[in-house]
Amino acid sequence: MKVALLGGTRGIGRAVARRLAEEGDRLFLLGRDDDELARSARDLEQRAVAAGHTLEVGHARCDLAEPGGFGAALDAADEALDGFDALVITAARFATQQALEADPEEALRVSTVNYANTVALCEHARPRLLERRGVLCVLTSVAGDRGRKPVVIYGASKAGLSAYLEGLDHRHRLEGLGVVDVRPGFVRTSMTDGLRPPPFAGEPGPVARDVVRALRRRTPVVYTPWIWRWVMLAIRLLPRFVMRRIGF
């Protein structure tokens, strides 16, 4: 595959990028920090060589908070890869519910970046991927499966994104566009530093394996670690009066 990847310099995105490089896929990194992008690109090239592949990884600045730059960033990926056929978005903005309730401006930023601006980036890429019968893969979250006390605002932003991806899949699957909604549970990354891990917390490496498998198979919805599919099924079935009583 020829993959443009937003968020590949840290956490799950970095693990996904490393796995793709080691498996011989071509990559172009998108992100906010030029120095981090350059370091990550060199790391991926070295990992590809160690795995027996030759890889040149380009990069361009793309910030989900600045939608005016989306078109130019995708143009740069197109030029470097001679037309990317997969876009993977692992980047997002996170803050705890308590922090968001205390800061309405940050609540707006989280909602805008995670939903409206991510959808805008997908819409910039959609015509290109449709033409190439490509794949759009976006990390949402199990937080979007049900309204819950600890993640009211963050969860709502991810729920909206999942609804968009499902609609896109219904609308364009028969035209050849693959749409993949990856819903991680709690994963130990820099984004979750300082938070108490719940049972079944995941690590970036195994989660990246699931992401890449879903990308290749064009699986519409994937939970990772896998047990979260059953955890969230149980949560979705709980009556509302029970959800009001529990803290999950």
CA distances for 56 relative to 9, 45, 81, 89, 226, angstroms: 16, 6, 10, 20, 33
- pLDDT above 80 (res 132): yes
> What domains, with CATH codes, occur in the chain?
2-245 (3.40.50.720)
- pLDDT above 90 (res 238): yes
User: Model confidence at 201, in pLDDT bands (50, 70, 90)?
Assistant: confident
Query: How far does CA 30 lie from the centroid of its chain?
Result: 12
Give me the percent of the chain exceeding a pLDDT of 70.
Answer: 96
At 195 the pLDDT is 67
Is there a catalytic annotation at residue 154? yes
At 198 the pLDDT is 67
Cβ-based neighbours of 5, under 8 Å, separated by 6 or more = 13, 16, 17, 20, 27, 28, 29, 30, 87, 88, 90
Which contacts (CB < 8 Å, 24+ apart) does range 72-78 have?
Answer: 73/30, 74/4, 74/124, 74/125, 74/128, 76/28, 77/4, 77/28, 77/30, 78/128
Model pLDDT for residues 66-108, shown as the tens digit of each residue: 999 999 999 999 999 999 999 999 999 999 999 999 999 999 9
* Farthest-apart Cα atoms in the chain, separation: 57
Span 51-70, average pLDDT: 96
Question: Which one from 115, 154, 164, 223 is the annotated catalytic residue?
Answer: 154
At 153 the pLDDT is 98
User: Model confidence at 191, in pLDDT bands (50, 70, 90)?
Assistant: low
